[in-house]
Structure formats: structure tokens, C-alpha cells
Amino acid sequence: MILGLISWARKRSPWIAHFCTGSCNACDIEILACLTPRYDIERFGAIVRGSIRHADILLVTGPVTRQVRDRLLRIYEQMPEPKYVVAVGTCAISGGVYRNSYNIYPGVDSVIPVTAYISGCPVKPENIINGLSFLLKKIGESE
């Protein structure tokens, strides 16, 4: 019963942490736009937290640069279980326009495991909401 309660709470208050691993800022401002009155993801109980230790979902934007890779791994280790990572934007999925650059890893999943992918360059806020609701459904099914 307690497990059911935890799962219910997790599904209704997914707290989000956002980490930029070398994106061009376009996806970042679209994530921020999701919090504001027109898109308002707070109706799903989601808030963006500064600290990764409070978060259930990690949104990663941008291709992973060599310099930021160690930080990303450290942040991933600090995250409490269960860990849900969402790759936001084309660069986070495959490297996007920066692919073939000497300083990036092609995609977040070459560094840490990823649960969901949201495509677009930059992603649209509607798309982020779609991805988030998909992830919430998945969380509900798995527990």
C-alpha cells in the first residue's frame, strides 16, 4: 500500500531539474516558456528545481561537450532513484547540427541512459508537454 502511495505521489508531482550540456539556449528558453502562463506545466504538478537532489526528472538539452561530460555524470549520480532522463531537442538525441565536431559526444544516450526523447530544433513547448505526459504514463505503467 505504501508503495502504491509513493507511486501515486510520484506520478502527480514530477519535479524537474534542467541541465544544459552545450545547447544553443533555444531549447532552454522553450523549457522556461513551459512554466509561464500560456503553457503552464505546473498543472501536472511539475516544478523546476535548482538542485538535482530534489528532482525526479532530469531534462538535458544540447550535445554533450567533452568539458561538461564529467559534470553530467556527477549530476546523474547525485540524482535520487528512480532516475528518469529526458533528452530534449535534436542535439541531445543525436548531436544535431554540431555532429562531427571534435568536441562533442553525439547525443546524451552515449553518456547516460535516457528514458524519453523529445525531438525538434528547437523543441516546441507543446512538444515538451506531450513528452512529459508520455513519460508520466510510462511511470504509471512501470510501477
Partner 1 sequence: MATFDIPIGPQHPALPEPLLLKLEVEGETVVGVDFDVSYMHRGIEKLLETKTYFQGLPLVERICGICNAAHGLCYTLNVEKLYDKEIPPRAQYLRLIVEELSRIHSHLLWLGVAAFEIGFNTMFMYTWRDREYVMDMLEAITGNRVTTEYSQIGGVRRDISPELADKLLKTMNVVEERTKYYIKVALTEPTIAKRTQGVGYLSPEDAKSTCSVGPIIRASGIKFDIRADDPYAAHEEVPFNVITYDSCDVFGRVVVRAQELLECVNMIRYALKNLPSGPFRIKLPMKPNAGEALTRVEAPRGELLHYTLCEGTPKPYRYKVRTPTLANLGALRAMLTSKGRYVVNIGDVPIIYGSIDPCICCTARVQFIDIKKDKTWTWTLDEIRNRSRRMRV
Q: CB-based contacts of 37: which residues, under 8 Å, 6+ apart? A: none
Least distance (Å) between residue 53 CB and partner 1: 11
Residue 128 makes CB contacts below 8 A (sequence gap 6+) with: 30, 31, 34, 39, 41, 88, 118
Q: Compute, in degrees rounded to 10, the torsion defined by CA atoms 136, 46, 51, 9.
A: -60
CB of 16 vs partner 1, minimal distance in Å: 13
- Side chain identity, residue 136: L
Toward partner 1, which CB reaches closer, 52 or 116?
52
The least CB distance from residue 134 to partner 1, in Å, is 21
The distance of closest approach from Cβ of residue 122 to partner 1 in the complex, given in angstroms and rounded to an integer, is 5
- Binding residues (CB under 8 A) for partner 1: these are 19-30, 32-33, 36-38, 49-52, 63, 65, 67-68, 71, 75, 96-98, 100-104, 121-122, 124
Nearest distance, CB of residue 73 and partner 1, angstroms:
12
> DSSP 3-state assignment of 113?
coil
Specify the residue, 12 or 71, whose C-beta has the smaller distance to partner 1. Answer: 71
Which is nearer to partner 1, 39 or 134 (by Cβ)? 39
Q: By C-beta, is 5 or 43 nearer to partner 1?
A: 43
Q: Rank residues 2 and 102 by Cβ distance to partner 1 and give the closer one.
A: 102
Sheet holding 116-118, edge to edge: 48-49, 16-20, 57-61, 84-88, 116-118
Q: CA–CA separation, 76 vs 108, rounded Å? A: 12
